[in-house]
Chain A
Amino acid sequence: MRRYSIFTVFIGLLALQGCATPPLRGTGDLGVVIERAAGSIQVVETTHRTRLGQIAGLGDLSHASVNYSRDERYAYVFGRDGALTKVDLLKMRIEKRVMQSGNSIGGAISQDGRLIAVANYTPGGIKVFDSETLEQVADIPAIDHTGKPSKVVGLVDAPGNRFVFSLYDAGEIWVAELRDPAKPALHKFTNIGKEPYDGMITADGRYYVAGLFGEDGLALLDLWHLDAGVKRVLNGYGKGEQKLPVYKMPHLEGWAATGNELLVPAVGRNEVLVIDQNNWMEAGRIPVHGQPVFVVARPDNRQVWVNFAFPNNDTVQVIDVPSRAVVKTLKPGKAVLHMEFTPRGENVWVSVRDDDRVEVYDSETFAKIGELPADKPSGIFFTPRAHRTGL
């Protein structure tokens, strides 16, 4: 009892002190949960699995995504309405905010951490900002080789202060080198395939892969050998069969690169495709519960977690990578939108949009170990992304 009261006094003192200066803390266990409809974000910490605060006024956050500064203190939030917001996770407030386009889809931070690039639908292209001031330093409109504007998707950073992205309408992949942001050097690859809908880069920053919606296949670019051009891989994996309707576009940011294999969502098929990274041939297929949306590898690459498009979006499946078998099927709730592993993978956080909560699972036992309320949560982004190419 006495111990308790001393503890209370201690907490009280801490709180008082907090008024003057916030207690010191690191940011390596922090993260952001997007509340897409409310236009707010929650700042969370994964050590005790709690919410530290909520920041409102970020606009339309449907399809919002987040990059982190290299010191893991600032979150750059990309909103659908074209807003780029820089949030201070420690002071728990909006630091700067710019409306940089009419409609955007995501962003990337450069290798040196100085540049933030945003991919836009309207007007199509990328805009590049100084990560400290959010002043615009470059504007690269996506005008294709026939002179038409195109929506930009699949924007990632690559070594050499480069950004790589795909032109959805035009079927092109562009590499923008921004060593000197005033003079971006562009390498354009045309006729890469119909409707690239998203792109990813392997963890080593060497291979950029764009998924195609308009045809069965993927477009592959080796960034070590730009001269070799874009190659088509897994061409015709649907073998001409009728595609199933796709009620939500797969996302490739979370494509799993598990050692020598890439696990990727099939389009219009209830399968996860396994690609052998040595020869870029199909190495297998794993039948799953629905159209995969995110295929995310646990940091140790032993497991891959998969969520699904409407109407199968109440389910998450876990694939054991060595055996390529689904070893667990979970039903977290209505409309599972995203999954994010803690830095070393012991837990996974799952957003359940229509049930207004985030669930936390033990990735070894699959037991649910926690739950946090959230208003229509979508993306979950933890700060260790700061140090991973392409995230």
Chain B
Amino acid sequence: MVKLLNKLFQVAGCGLLCVAVFFPGLAQAEPTAEAVAPAPARQKELINLVRQDCGSCHGLRLEGGLGLPLTPQALREKSPDALKETILYGRAGTPMPPWKPFLTDAESGWIVQMLLKGLP
């Protein structure tokens, strides 16, 4: 199962890479996550969302549950862009749902940065 997920992940990551190669302008048009940090009040909301709501599958400490662990260690090898896409669009064939209705692109990128650093 984990292997399959990793594979899916690689495929998704590769797809993004292709987009970046063939449409460099498109990739650049997306502001990088670190450039646009959400307002402090929203940051608080997002951290609560990740801890509590993502936490219902990934664990309150994000050490994994029905979903995979989301600790910096667990995510180290992953592409931040692919992680952002997974948050926004979910992952077909798994229970991971798309969070796009509730998050902007930049917010998803910011969450990835926070996960990679370790959530406060």
Cβ A168 vs Cβ B66 within 8 A: yes
- Give the docked Cα–Cα distance between A202 and B118 (Å): 43
Which residue on chain A has the smallest CB distance to residue B58?
A: A62
Inter-subunit contact B1/A37 (CB<8 Å): no
Contacts of B98 in A (CB 8 A): 245
Q: Which residues of A contact B51 (CB under 8 A)?
A: 37
Give Cα A249–Cα B63 distance, bound, in whole angstroms: 18
Find out whether the CB atom of A105 lies under 8 angstroms from the CB atom of B65. Answer: yes
Chain A residue, CB-CB nearest to B100: A245
Pair B52/A376 contact, Cβ less than 8 Å: yes
List, in ascending order, chain B residues with CB within 8 A of A37's CB.
Answer: 51-52, 60
A-B pair count, CB < 8 Å, reads: 64
A98 to B100, CA, bound (A): 40
| Interface pair A354/B52, CB less than 8 Å apart | yes
8 tightest A-B CB contacts, nearest first: A62-B60, A245-B97, A169-B1, A310-B53, A248-B56, A60-B61, A62-B55, A80-B59
- A373 contacts chain B at the CB level, 8 A cutoff: no
- A-B contact list, 19 entries, CB within 8 Å: A60-B59, A60-B60, A62-B55, A62-B56, A62-B60, A80-B61, A103-B63, A105-B66, A153-B66, A168-B66, A195-B95, A197-B95, A246-B97, A248-B53, A249-B56, A311-B102, A353-B52, A354-B48, A354-B52
Q: Please indicate the chain A residues that have their CB under 8 angstroms from the CB of B97 in the complex.
A: 245-247
A63 at the interface (CB under 8 A from B): yes
CA distance A195 to B4 in the complex (A): 15
Question: Which residues of B sit under 8 angstroms from A353, Cβ to Cβ?
Answer: 52
Does A68 sit at the interface, judged by CB under 8 A? no
- Nearest chain A CB to B40's CB is how many angstroms away? 18
Q: Measuring CB to CB, which residues of chain B are less than 8 angstroms from any residue of chain A?
A: 1, 48, 51-53, 55-57, 59-61, 63-66, 90, 95, 97-98, 101-102
- Chain A positions 342-391 with a Cβ under 8 Å from a chain B Cβ: 353-354, 376
Q: Which B residue sits closest to A122, measured CB to CB?
A: B64
Per-residue B-contact encoding for A232-262, CB less than 8 Å = 1, 0 else: 0000000000000111110000000000000
Q: Cβ of B95: which chain A residues have Cβ within 8 Å of it?
A: 195, 197, 213, 246, 249
Contact B52 A121, beta carbon cutoff 8 Å: no
A177 within 8 A of partner (CB) = no
**A86 CB within 8 Å of chain B:** no
User: Given known contacts A60-B60, A80-B60, A248-B57, what 15 new A-B pairs fall within 8 Å (CB)?
Assistant: A37-B52, A37-B60, A60-B63, A62-B55, A62-B60, A80-B65, A121-B65, A121-B66, A122-B64, A151-B66, A245-B97, A248-B53, A249-B95, A311-B101, A335-B52
Write out the residue numbers on chain A whose beta carbons fall within 8 Å of the beta carbon of B63. Answer: 60, 81, 103
Q: How far is the CA of A195 from the CA of B95 in the complex (A)?
A: 10
Give Cα A80–Cα B63 distance, bound, in whole angstroms. Answer: 9
Those of A302-320 within 8 Å (CB) of chain B: 310-311
A298 at the interface (CB under 8 A from B): no
Indicate if A269 sits at the interface (CB-CB under 8 A). Answer: no
Residue A36 lies at the interface, judged by CB distance under 8 Å to chain B: yes
Residue of B nearest to A153 (CB): B66
A148 and chain B: residue at smallest CB distance: B1
Count of chain A residues with a beta carbon within 8 Å of a chain B beta carbon: 30
Asked whether B53 lies within 8 Å of A103 as measured between CB atoms, the reply is no
Nearest residue in A to B53 (C-beta to C-beta)? A310
Q: Please report the C-alpha to C-alpha distance between residue A37 and residue B52 in the assembled complex, in whole angstroms.
A: 9
- B102 — which chain A residues lie within 8 A by C-beta? 311
- Whether A249 touches B66, Cβ cut-off 8 Å, given contacts A335-B52, A354-B48, is yes
Taking a contact as CB atoms under 8 Å apart, the answer to whether A245 and B52 are in contact is: no
- Could you tell me the distance between the alpha carbons of A166 and B59 in the complex, rounded to whole angstroms? 20
Contacts of A153 in B (CB 8 A): 66
Q: Is the CB of A36 within 8 A of B53?
A: no
What is the CA–CA distance of A153 and B66 in the complex, to the nearest angstrom? 9
Shortest Cβ distance from residue B64 to the other chain A in the assembled complex, whole angstroms: 6
CA distance A172 to B100 in the complex (A): 33
Which chain A residues border B1 with CB–CB below 8 Å?
169
Residues of B within 8 A of A197 (CB): 66, 95
Q: Report A-chain residues with C-beta under 8 Å of the C-beta of B48.
A: 354
Contact of A247 among B53, B55, B59 (CB under 8 A): B53
Least CB distance from A355 to B in Å reads 12
Q: Are A103 and B52 in touch, CB under 8 angstroms?
A: no
Bound-state CA distance A73–B98 (Å) is 44
CB distance from A188 to the nearest CB of B (A): 19
